[in-house]
Amino acid sequence: MGKEELIEEKVKGYLSRIKAEDKKVNAFLELNGDVLKEARKVDSKKKKGKLFGLVFGVKSNINVLGLKASCASETLKDYKSTYDATVIKKIKEEDGIIIGMLNCDEFASGVSGENSAFGATDNSAAPGRITGGSSSGSAAAVAAGFCDLSLGSDTGGSIRTPASHCGVIGVKPSYGAVSRYGLIDLSMSLDQIGVLGKNVEDCANVLSVIAGKEDRDTSTRDFGKLKMENYGKKKIKIGVLRLRGTDSKIQKVIDSKVKEIVEKLGWNVGEIEIENIELAVETYYPLVYVEFFSGTRRFDGRKYGKKIEDVSGKEVLRRILGGSEISKAEFAGQYYRKALGVKNLISLEFEKAFKKFDCVVSPVTPVLPWKIGQGEKMSLEEIYAADALTCPSNLAGICAISVPAGFVKEGKEEIPVGIQVMCGKGEDGKLLGIAREIEGLSR
Ligand code: GLN
Protein backbone atom coordinates (compact mmCIF):
# COMPACT_ATOMS: atom_id res chain seq x y z
CA MET A 1 0.00 0.00 0.00
CA GLY A 2 1.39 3.40 -0.95
CA LYS A 3 1.89 5.79 1.93
CA GLU A 4 -0.70 8.22 0.65
CA GLU A 5 -3.46 5.78 -0.16
CA LEU A 6 -6.54 6.47 1.85
CA ILE A 7 -8.03 3.64 3.84
CA GLU A 8 -11.38 4.62 2.38
CA GLU A 9 -10.02 3.87 -1.11
CA LYS A 10 -8.66 0.52 0.03
CA VAL A 11 -12.04 -0.40 1.52
CA LYS A 12 -13.78 0.66 -1.69
CA GLY A 13 -11.47 -1.64 -3.60
CA TYR A 14 -12.33 -4.56 -1.32
CA LEU A 15 -16.05 -3.81 -1.59
CA SER A 16 -16.02 -3.81 -5.36
CA ARG A 17 -14.07 -7.04 -5.43
CA ILE A 18 -16.54 -8.63 -3.02
CA LYS A 19 -19.40 -7.41 -5.18
CA ALA A 20 -17.86 -8.89 -8.30
CA GLU A 21 -16.65 -12.20 -6.90
CA ASP A 22 -18.39 -13.17 -3.70
CA LYS A 23 -21.49 -14.54 -5.40
CA LYS A 24 -19.32 -17.45 -6.38
CA VAL A 25 -17.13 -17.64 -3.26
CA ASN A 26 -19.91 -17.09 -0.67
CA ALA A 27 -17.51 -15.89 2.02
CA PHE A 28 -19.59 -13.05 3.44
CA LEU A 29 -22.96 -13.37 5.14
CA GLU A 30 -23.27 -9.64 5.78
CA LEU A 31 -21.36 -6.48 4.91
CA ASN A 32 -20.92 -3.64 7.36
CA GLY A 33 -23.08 -0.81 5.97
CA ASP A 34 -21.02 1.75 7.92
CA VAL A 35 -17.63 0.58 6.75
CA LEU A 36 -16.85 3.57 4.52
CA LYS A 37 -17.88 5.97 7.24
CA GLU A 38 -15.62 4.12 9.67
CA ALA A 39 -12.78 4.17 7.13
CA ARG A 40 -13.11 7.93 6.73
CA LYS A 41 -13.00 8.33 10.48
CA VAL A 42 -9.78 6.33 10.63
CA ASP A 43 -8.34 8.36 7.73
CA SER A 44 -8.91 11.55 9.68
CA LYS A 45 -6.87 10.39 12.68
CA LYS A 46 -3.60 12.09 13.49
CA LYS A 47 -2.36 9.45 15.86
CA LYS A 48 -2.43 6.03 14.25
CA GLY A 49 -3.25 2.88 16.18
CA LYS A 50 -1.28 -0.38 15.88
CA LEU A 51 -3.79 -1.84 13.43
CA PHE A 52 -4.31 1.37 11.53
CA GLY A 53 -6.50 0.83 8.49
CA LEU A 54 -6.28 -2.95 8.50
CA VAL A 55 -9.50 -4.40 7.16
CA PHE A 56 -10.97 -7.45 8.91
CA GLY A 57 -13.63 -9.99 8.08
CA VAL A 58 -15.13 -11.64 11.16
CA LYS A 59 -16.48 -15.16 11.60
CA SER A 60 -20.20 -15.03 12.30
CA ASN A 61 -19.89 -16.52 15.78
CA ILE A 62 -18.12 -13.42 17.15
CA ASN A 63 -20.19 -10.44 18.31
CA VAL A 64 -19.68 -7.18 16.43
CA LEU A 65 -22.01 -4.41 17.55
CA GLY A 66 -24.84 -3.89 15.05
CA LEU A 67 -23.90 -6.83 12.80
CA LYS A 68 -25.39 -10.30 12.81
CA ALA A 69 -23.76 -13.08 14.79
CA SER A 70 -25.87 -15.75 13.14
CA CYS A 71 -23.35 -18.57 13.57
CA ALA A 72 -24.45 -19.43 10.02
CA SER A 73 -27.58 -20.91 11.56
CA GLU A 74 -31.30 -20.39 10.98
CA THR A 75 -31.67 -20.20 14.76
CA LEU A 76 -29.74 -16.94 15.07
CA LYS A 77 -30.37 -15.72 11.54
CA ASP A 78 -31.73 -12.36 12.70
CA TYR A 79 -29.69 -11.93 15.86
CA LYS A 80 -28.01 -8.54 15.75
CA SER A 81 -25.18 -8.17 18.23
CA THR A 82 -25.73 -5.66 20.99
CA TYR A 83 -22.07 -5.41 21.94
CA ASP A 84 -18.51 -5.90 20.71
CA ALA A 85 -16.58 -9.01 21.70
CA THR A 86 -13.35 -8.13 23.52
CA VAL A 87 -11.27 -8.93 20.43
CA ILE A 88 -13.40 -6.57 18.34
CA LYS A 89 -13.22 -3.82 20.92
CA LYS A 90 -9.42 -4.10 20.96
CA ILE A 91 -9.18 -4.13 17.15
CA LYS A 92 -11.37 -1.04 16.87
CA GLU A 93 -9.38 0.76 19.56
CA GLU A 94 -6.26 0.27 17.43
CA ASP A 95 -7.98 1.60 14.28
CA GLY A 96 -8.76 -1.73 12.63
CA ILE A 97 -11.90 -1.80 10.47
CA ILE A 98 -14.57 -4.51 10.26
CA ILE A 99 -15.83 -4.99 6.72
CA GLY A 100 -18.36 -7.74 7.40
CA MET A 101 -19.41 -11.07 8.86
CA LEU A 102 -18.17 -14.32 7.39
CA ASN A 103 -19.69 -17.65 6.55
CA CYS A 104 -18.80 -20.77 8.55
CA ASP A 105 -20.10 -24.20 9.44
CA GLU A 106 -23.23 -23.83 11.56
CA PHE A 107 -22.14 -23.06 15.12
CA ALA A 108 -18.55 -23.82 14.05
CA SER A 109 -19.50 -27.49 13.79
CA GLY A 110 -17.72 -28.96 10.83
CA VAL A 111 -14.52 -29.45 8.96
CA SER A 112 -15.54 -28.43 5.44
CA GLY A 113 -17.76 -25.33 5.44
CA GLU A 114 -20.55 -27.45 3.96
CA ASN A 115 -22.62 -27.31 7.17
CA SER A 116 -23.53 -23.63 6.86
CA ALA A 117 -27.26 -22.91 6.68
CA PHE A 118 -26.34 -20.38 3.97
CA GLY A 119 -24.43 -22.64 1.60
CA ALA A 120 -20.85 -23.86 1.33
CA THR A 121 -17.95 -21.50 0.62
CA ASP A 122 -15.89 -22.01 -2.51
CA ASN A 123 -12.12 -22.29 -2.26
CA SER A 124 -10.72 -19.63 -4.54
CA ALA A 125 -7.27 -21.26 -4.31
CA ALA A 126 -8.75 -24.54 -5.60
CA PRO A 127 -12.13 -23.68 -7.16
CA GLY A 128 -14.89 -26.23 -6.76
CA ARG A 129 -13.30 -27.64 -3.62
CA ILE A 130 -14.18 -27.02 0.01
CA THR A 131 -12.33 -24.30 1.84
CA GLY A 132 -12.24 -26.45 4.93
CA GLY A 133 -13.99 -25.46 8.11
CA SER A 134 -15.37 -24.39 10.21
CA SER A 135 -13.90 -20.89 9.59
CA SER A 136 -14.60 -21.31 5.88
CA GLY A 137 -15.37 -17.67 5.07
CA SER A 138 -12.42 -16.48 7.16
CA ALA A 139 -9.92 -18.35 5.00
CA ALA A 140 -11.73 -17.80 1.72
CA ALA A 141 -12.02 -14.05 2.23
CA VAL A 142 -8.29 -13.66 2.83
CA ALA A 143 -7.40 -15.98 -0.05
CA ALA A 144 -9.76 -14.19 -2.44
CA GLY A 145 -8.40 -10.76 -1.51
CA PHE A 146 -11.61 -9.48 0.12
CA CYS A 147 -9.89 -8.15 3.27
CA ASP A 148 -6.45 -7.92 4.89
CA LEU A 149 -7.10 -10.30 7.74
CA SER A 150 -9.87 -12.25 9.38
CA LEU A 151 -10.87 -13.62 12.73
CA GLY A 152 -11.88 -17.22 13.18
CA SER A 153 -12.39 -19.65 16.03
CA ASP A 154 -10.63 -22.96 16.48
CA THR A 155 -12.03 -25.72 18.68
CA GLY A 156 -10.54 -28.72 16.93
CA GLY A 157 -8.86 -27.23 13.87
CA SER A 158 -11.29 -24.68 12.49
CA ILE A 159 -8.69 -22.00 11.79
CA ARG A 160 -5.80 -24.19 10.68
CA THR A 161 -7.73 -26.52 8.39
CA PRO A 162 -9.23 -23.83 6.14
CA ALA A 163 -5.94 -21.91 6.26
CA SER A 164 -4.15 -25.00 4.94
CA HIS A 165 -6.72 -25.70 2.22
CA CYS A 166 -6.79 -22.07 1.05
CA GLY A 167 -3.05 -21.38 1.22
CA VAL A 168 -3.10 -18.69 3.92
CA ILE A 169 -1.71 -18.36 7.46
CA GLY A 170 -3.96 -19.43 10.34
CA VAL A 171 -3.03 -19.17 14.02
CA LYS A 172 -4.72 -20.88 16.94
CA PRO A 173 -3.36 -19.27 20.09
CA SER A 174 -2.82 -21.17 23.34
CA TYR A 175 -6.02 -21.77 25.27
CA GLY A 176 -6.46 -18.76 27.53
CA ALA A 177 -4.24 -16.42 25.52
CA VAL A 178 -7.11 -14.52 23.88
CA SER A 179 -10.39 -13.59 25.55
CA ARG A 180 -13.44 -15.52 24.35
CA TYR A 181 -15.81 -12.88 25.69
CA GLY A 182 -18.31 -12.32 22.89
CA LEU A 183 -17.57 -15.60 21.10
CA ILE A 184 -20.61 -17.86 20.82
CA ASP A 185 -19.43 -21.19 22.24
CA LEU A 186 -19.05 -24.44 20.45
CA SER A 187 -17.11 -26.01 23.30
CA MET A 188 -15.94 -23.61 25.97
CA SER A 189 -13.04 -25.66 27.26
CA LEU A 190 -11.51 -25.94 23.76
CA ASP A 191 -12.56 -22.84 21.75
CA GLN A 192 -10.00 -20.17 20.94
CA ILE A 193 -10.32 -17.08 18.80
CA GLY A 194 -7.44 -16.67 16.37
CA VAL A 195 -6.31 -14.89 13.21
CA LEU A 196 -5.98 -15.69 9.52
CA GLY A 197 -3.88 -13.57 7.20
CA LYS A 198 -1.56 -13.37 4.25
CA ASN A 199 1.64 -13.48 6.28
CA VAL A 200 2.88 -14.34 9.76
CA GLU A 201 3.91 -10.81 10.61
CA ASP A 202 0.42 -9.37 10.09
CA CYS A 203 -1.09 -12.13 12.22
CA ALA A 204 1.50 -11.55 14.95
CA ASN A 205 0.67 -7.86 14.93
CA VAL A 206 -3.03 -8.58 15.46
CA LEU A 207 -2.37 -11.17 18.15
CA SER A 208 -0.19 -8.74 20.08
CA VAL A 209 -3.27 -6.50 20.25
CA ILE A 210 -6.02 -9.02 21.00
CA ALA A 211 -4.17 -11.29 23.46
CA GLY A 212 -4.19 -10.77 27.19
CA LYS A 213 -5.85 -11.71 30.44
CA GLU A 214 -9.31 -10.33 31.01
CA ASP A 215 -11.75 -10.67 33.90
CA ARG A 216 -14.75 -11.22 31.63
CA ASP A 217 -13.25 -14.50 30.47
CA THR A 218 -11.94 -16.28 33.54
CA SER A 219 -10.17 -18.88 31.40
CA THR A 220 -7.74 -16.24 30.12
CA ARG A 221 -4.24 -16.41 31.55
CA ASP A 222 -1.39 -14.05 31.86
CA PHE A 223 1.24 -15.54 29.55
CA GLY A 224 3.16 -12.27 29.42
CA LYS A 225 3.17 -9.92 26.47
CA LEU A 226 2.57 -11.76 23.20
CA LYS A 227 5.39 -10.75 20.91
CA MET A 228 6.86 -12.57 17.93
CA GLU A 229 10.36 -13.78 18.82
CA ASN A 230 13.29 -13.72 16.46
CA TYR A 231 14.46 -17.13 15.30
CA GLY A 232 16.59 -15.85 12.42
CA LYS A 233 19.83 -17.07 13.91
CA LYS A 234 18.72 -19.54 16.54
CA LYS A 235 19.38 -23.21 15.95
CA ILE A 236 16.45 -25.17 17.26
CA LYS A 237 15.24 -28.72 17.34
CA ILE A 238 11.99 -29.73 15.72
CA GLY A 239 10.06 -32.95 16.24
CA VAL A 240 8.37 -34.41 13.18
CA LEU A 241 5.03 -36.02 13.93
CA ARG A 242 3.47 -38.49 11.51
CA LEU A 243 0.01 -39.92 11.44
CA ARG A 244 -0.75 -43.24 9.84
CA GLY A 245 -3.27 -42.89 7.05
CA THR A 246 -2.18 -39.42 5.95
CA ASP A 247 -2.48 -38.93 2.19
CA SER A 248 0.99 -39.69 0.83
CA LYS A 249 0.84 -36.68 -1.49
CA ILE A 250 0.39 -34.40 1.52
CA GLN A 251 3.16 -36.14 3.45
CA LYS A 252 5.49 -35.64 0.50
CA VAL A 253 4.95 -31.87 0.59
CA ILE A 254 5.62 -31.85 4.35
CA ASP A 255 8.73 -34.02 4.04
CA SER A 256 10.24 -31.76 1.42
CA LYS A 257 9.48 -28.71 3.55
CA VAL A 258 11.23 -30.35 6.51
CA LYS A 259 14.21 -31.11 4.27
CA GLU A 260 14.33 -27.48 3.25
CA ILE A 261 14.20 -26.44 6.91
CA VAL A 262 17.22 -28.62 7.67
CA GLU A 263 19.19 -27.48 4.64
CA LYS A 264 18.45 -23.78 4.72
CA LEU A 265 17.83 -23.00 8.37
CA GLY A 266 20.22 -25.60 9.77
CA TRP A 267 17.70 -26.71 12.40
CA ASN A 268 17.90 -30.18 13.91
CA VAL A 269 15.16 -32.63 13.21
CA GLY A 270 14.02 -35.77 14.99
CA GLU A 271 11.00 -38.02 14.73
CA ILE A 272 8.52 -37.81 17.57
CA GLU A 273 5.61 -39.89 18.77
CA ILE A 274 2.80 -38.56 20.89
CA GLU A 275 1.34 -41.44 22.82
CA ASN A 276 -2.45 -41.78 22.68
CA ILE A 277 -2.72 -39.31 19.81
CA GLU A 278 -4.77 -41.86 17.91
CA LEU A 279 -7.44 -41.39 20.62
CA ALA A 280 -7.66 -37.64 20.08
CA VAL A 281 -10.69 -37.62 17.77
CA GLU A 282 -12.73 -39.97 19.93
CA THR A 283 -11.81 -37.92 22.99
CA TYR A 284 -12.55 -34.59 21.35
CA TYR A 285 -16.07 -35.29 20.13
CA PRO A 286 -17.74 -36.37 23.42
CA LEU A 287 -16.32 -33.24 25.06
CA VAL A 288 -17.66 -31.09 22.26
CA TYR A 289 -21.06 -32.80 22.21
CA VAL A 290 -21.60 -32.35 25.95
CA GLU A 291 -20.39 -28.76 26.12
CA PHE A 292 -22.27 -27.78 22.97
CA PHE A 293 -25.49 -29.36 24.23
CA SER A 294 -25.19 -27.40 27.44
CA GLY A 295 -24.30 -24.16 25.65
CA THR A 296 -27.27 -24.37 23.28
CA ARG A 297 -29.94 -24.66 25.97
CA ARG A 298 -30.42 -20.90 25.78
CA PHE A 299 -31.53 -21.09 22.14
CA ASP A 300 -34.96 -22.28 23.15
CA GLY A 301 -36.88 -19.99 20.83
CA ARG A 302 -37.90 -17.54 23.55
CA LYS A 303 -35.25 -14.91 23.19
CA TYR A 304 -33.64 -15.41 19.81
CA GLY A 305 -36.50 -16.61 17.66
CA LYS A 306 -36.47 -20.16 16.45
CA LYS A 307 -35.72 -23.09 18.72
CA ILE A 308 -32.40 -24.61 17.72
CA GLU A 309 -33.60 -28.20 17.40
CA ASP A 310 -36.43 -27.12 15.12
CA VAL A 311 -34.31 -25.46 12.47
CA SER A 312 -30.72 -26.66 12.81
CA GLY A 313 -28.85 -28.69 10.24
CA LYS A 314 -28.09 -32.37 10.68
CA GLU A 315 -24.65 -31.98 12.29
CA VAL A 316 -25.79 -29.50 14.93
CA LEU A 317 -28.79 -31.66 15.73
CA ARG A 318 -26.57 -34.72 16.02
CA ARG A 319 -24.40 -32.90 18.57
CA ILE A 320 -27.36 -31.74 20.61
CA LEU A 321 -28.97 -35.17 20.72
CA GLY A 322 -25.63 -36.88 21.30
CA GLY A 323 -24.67 -34.41 24.02
CA SER A 324 -28.00 -34.82 25.77
CA GLU A 325 -27.59 -38.60 25.71
CA ILE A 326 -24.02 -38.57 27.08
CA SER A 327 -25.04 -36.10 29.80
CA LYS A 328 -27.91 -38.24 31.12
CA ALA A 329 -27.94 -38.46 34.90
CA GLU A 330 -27.82 -42.26 34.82
CA PHE A 331 -24.33 -42.15 33.27
CA ALA A 332 -23.14 -39.91 36.12
CA GLY A 333 -20.73 -38.03 33.87
CA GLN A 334 -18.61 -41.10 33.23
CA TYR A 335 -18.07 -40.51 29.48
CA TYR A 336 -17.22 -36.87 29.92
CA ARG A 337 -14.83 -37.70 32.75
CA LYS A 338 -13.18 -40.45 30.76
CA ALA A 339 -12.65 -38.05 27.87
CA LEU A 340 -11.16 -35.51 30.27
CA GLY A 341 -8.75 -38.20 31.48
CA VAL A 342 -7.43 -38.84 27.96
CA LYS A 343 -7.31 -35.09 27.31
CA ASN A 344 -5.00 -34.83 30.28
CA LEU A 345 -2.81 -37.69 29.06
CA ILE A 346 -2.39 -36.06 25.65
CA SER A 347 -1.56 -32.79 27.33
CA LEU A 348 1.17 -34.46 29.41
CA GLU A 349 2.56 -36.15 26.30
CA PHE A 350 2.98 -32.78 24.61
CA GLU A 351 4.66 -31.37 27.70
CA LYS A 352 7.14 -34.24 27.48
CA ALA A 353 7.65 -33.57 23.77
CA PHE A 354 8.45 -29.90 24.37
CA LYS A 355 11.18 -30.88 26.83
CA LYS A 356 12.98 -32.53 23.92
CA PHE A 357 11.93 -30.31 21.02
CA ASP A 358 11.30 -26.60 20.55
CA CYS A 359 8.30 -27.34 18.37
CA VAL A 360 6.45 -30.19 16.74
CA VAL A 361 5.58 -30.14 13.04
CA SER A 362 3.08 -32.21 11.07
CA PRO A 363 0.64 -31.92 8.20
CA VAL A 364 -2.44 -29.87 9.13
CA THR A 365 -4.89 -32.35 7.70
CA PRO A 366 -4.51 -35.97 6.64
CA VAL A 367 -6.73 -35.37 3.58
CA LEU A 368 -6.93 -32.91 0.71
CA PRO A 369 -9.93 -30.60 0.42
CA TRP A 370 -12.65 -32.60 -1.29
CA LYS A 371 -15.01 -31.38 -4.00
CA ILE A 372 -17.93 -29.39 -2.61
CA GLY A 373 -20.87 -31.70 -2.00
CA GLN A 374 -18.75 -34.80 -1.57
CA GLY A 375 -19.05 -34.48 2.22
CA GLU A 376 -22.65 -35.65 1.83
CA LYS A 377 -21.42 -39.02 0.67
CA MET A 378 -18.74 -39.51 3.29
CA SER A 379 -19.17 -41.40 6.54
CA LEU A 380 -19.14 -39.50 9.80
CA GLU A 381 -15.96 -41.32 10.82
CA GLU A 382 -14.22 -40.17 7.65
CA ILE A 383 -15.28 -36.58 8.22
CA TYR A 384 -14.34 -36.54 11.90
CA ALA A 385 -10.98 -38.15 11.07
CA ALA A 386 -10.02 -34.99 9.19
CA ASP A 387 -9.40 -33.36 12.61
CA ALA A 388 -6.93 -36.04 13.73
CA LEU A 389 -3.88 -33.79 13.48
CA THR A 390 -5.45 -30.53 14.60
CA CYS A 391 -7.64 -31.43 17.61
CA PRO A 392 -4.73 -32.77 19.72
CA SER A 393 -3.42 -29.24 20.25
CA ASN A 394 -6.86 -28.04 21.37
CA LEU A 395 -7.00 -30.93 23.83
CA ALA A 396 -3.54 -29.99 25.11
CA GLY A 397 -4.32 -26.25 25.16
CA ILE A 398 -1.12 -25.49 23.23
CA CYS A 399 -0.65 -23.03 20.36
CA ALA A 400 -0.46 -24.06 16.70
CA ILE A 401 -0.28 -22.50 13.28
CA SER A 402 -0.73 -23.49 9.64
CA VAL A 403 1.88 -22.11 7.22
CA PRO A 404 1.62 -22.70 3.45
CA ALA A 405 4.09 -25.48 2.58
CA GLY A 406 3.43 -26.20 -1.09
CA PHE A 407 0.94 -27.73 -3.46
CA VAL A 408 -0.35 -31.12 -4.50
CA LYS A 409 -0.92 -31.44 -8.23
CA GLU A 410 -4.13 -33.17 -9.26
CA GLY A 411 -4.47 -32.99 -13.05
CA LYS A 412 -4.45 -29.29 -13.83
CA GLU A 413 -5.17 -28.26 -10.24
CA GLU A 414 -2.63 -27.11 -7.70
CA ILE A 415 -4.10 -27.66 -4.26
CA PRO A 416 -2.50 -25.77 -1.35
CA VAL A 417 -1.11 -27.74 1.59
CA GLY A 418 -0.11 -26.27 4.93
CA ILE A 419 2.47 -27.41 7.45
CA GLN A 420 1.40 -27.30 11.09
CA VAL A 421 3.79 -26.03 13.76
CA MET A 422 2.91 -26.52 17.42
CA CYS A 423 4.56 -25.00 20.50
CA GLY A 424 3.89 -25.28 24.22
CA LYS A 425 1.21 -23.52 26.24
CA GLY A 426 1.87 -19.78 26.30
CA GLU A 427 4.71 -20.02 23.78
CA ASP A 428 2.80 -18.13 21.10
CA GLY A 429 5.61 -15.64 20.50
CA LYS A 430 8.02 -18.49 19.87
CA LEU A 431 5.51 -20.23 17.57
CA LEU A 432 5.16 -17.11 15.45
CA GLY A 433 8.92 -16.61 15.26
CA ILE A 434 9.49 -20.18 14.10
CA ALA A 435 6.60 -19.91 11.61
CA ARG A 436 8.04 -16.75 10.12
CA GLU A 437 11.32 -18.51 9.34
CA ILE A 438 9.46 -21.40 7.68
CA GLU A 439 7.25 -18.99 5.76
CA GLY A 440 10.35 -17.23 4.44
CA LEU A 441 11.79 -20.37 2.81
CA SER A 442 9.68 -20.51 -0.32
CA ARG A 443 6.12 -19.82 -1.27
N1 GLN B 1 -14.17 -30.08 12.88
C2 GLN B 1 -14.26 -29.89 14.29
C3 GLN B 1 -15.69 -29.95 14.75
O4 GLN B 1 -16.51 -30.10 13.92
C5 GLN B 1 -13.62 -28.59 14.63
C6 GLN B 1 -14.54 -27.44 14.69
C7 GLN B 1 -13.88 -26.19 15.20
O8 GLN B 1 -12.67 -26.14 15.42
N9 GLN B 1 -14.71 -25.21 15.47
O10 GLN B 1 -15.99 -29.87 15.89
The predicted pLDDT at position 4 comes to: 67
Instruction: Name the band, by pLDDT with cuts 50, 70 and 90, for residue 3.
Output: low
For residue range 139-198, list pLDDT tens digits in order: 999 999 999 999 999 999 999 999 999 999 999 999 999 999 999 999 999 999 999 999
SS3 366: coil
Q: Which domain holds residue 92?
A: 1-443
Position 37 scores a pLDDT of 98
The pLDDT value given to residue 443: 56
Q: What's the mean pLDDT in 385-410?
A: 98
Burial of 214 (0-12, 13-18, 19+ CB in 10 A): middle
Q: What confidence tier does 69 reach under pLDDT thresholds 50, 70, 90? A: very high
pLDDT tens-digit series, residues 206-252: 999 999 999 999 999 999 999 999 998 899 999 999 999 999 999 99
Q: Is the per-residue pLDDT at 254 higher than 60?
A: yes
Instruction: State the CATH number of the domain containing residue 193.
Output: 3.90.1300.10
Mutate to test the pocket of ligand 1, among 112, 134, 402 (most ligand atoms within 8 A of CB): 134
Of the residues 134, 138, 179, 393, which is catalytic? Answer: 134
* pLDDT tens per residue, range 307-321: 999 999 999 999 999
| 192 Cα: distance to centroid of ligand 1 (angstroms) | 11
The pLDDT of residue 106 is 98
What is the pLDDT of the chain when averaged over all its residues? 96
Alpha carbons 233 and 227: distance in angstroms, whole number: 17
Q: Which atom of ligand 1 is nearest to the CA of 159?
A: 8
Active-site annotation holds for 347: no
Cα(108) to ligand 1 centroid in Å equals 6
Banded pLDDT at 378 (limits 50, 70, 90): very high
* Ligand 1 mutation pick, 196, 289, 387, 389, max ligand atoms within 8 A of CB: 387
CA of 115 to the centre of ligand 1 (A): 11
| Residue of 124, 138, 158, 208 marked catalytic | 158
Q: What is the pLDDT of residue 166?
A: 98
pLDDT of the residue at 442: 74
Residue 317 CA, ligand 1 centroid: distance in Å: 15
pLDDT tens per residue, range 79-116: 999 999 999 999 999 999 999 999 999 999 999 999 99
Q: Is the CB of 402 under 6 A from ligand 1?
A: no
CB 415 near ligand 1, within 6 Å: no
| pLDDT tens per residue across span 121-135 | 999 999 999 999 999
Distance from residue 103's CA to the centre of ligand 1 (Å): 14
Does 2 score more than 80 pLDDT?
Answer: no
Instruction: Report in angstroms the alpha-carbon separations of 216 from 71, 148, 182, 221.
Output: 21, 28, 10, 12
Residue 229 to residues 176, 354, 362, 387, Cα–Cα distance (Å): 20, 17, 21, 29
Protein residue with its CA nearest to atom 10 in ligand 1: 109
For ligand 1, what atom is nearest to the CA of residue 158? Answer: 8
11 pLDDT more than 80: yes
For residue 158, indicate whether it is catalytic. yes
Answer yes or no: is pLDDT of 258 > 90: yes
Give the atom of ligand 1 at the shortest distance from the alpha carbon of 384. 1
Ligand 1 near 155 CB (within 6 A): yes
Pocket lining: 111 vs ligand 1, CB cutoff 6 Å:
yes
Q: Is 266 exposed, middle or buried (0-12, 13-18, 19+ CB in 10 A)?
A: exposed
Q: How many structural domains does the chain have?
A: 1
Average confidence (pLDDT) over 381-391: 97
Does residue 156's CB lie within 6 angstroms of at least one atom of ligand 1? yes
Q: What are the distances in angstroms from CA 359 to CA 237, 273, 298, 399?
A: 7, 13, 40, 10
Q: Active-site residue 59, yes or no?
A: yes
Instruction: Find the range with the poorest average confidence among 91-100, 332-341, 348-357, 362-371.
Output: 332-341
Residues 6+ apart with CB under 8 A from 104: 59, 60, 61, 71, 72, 113, 116, 133, 134, 135, 136, 137, 138, 152, 158
What pLDDT sits at residue 186? 97
> Between 324 and 5, whose confidence is greater?
324
pLDDT at 53 over 70: yes
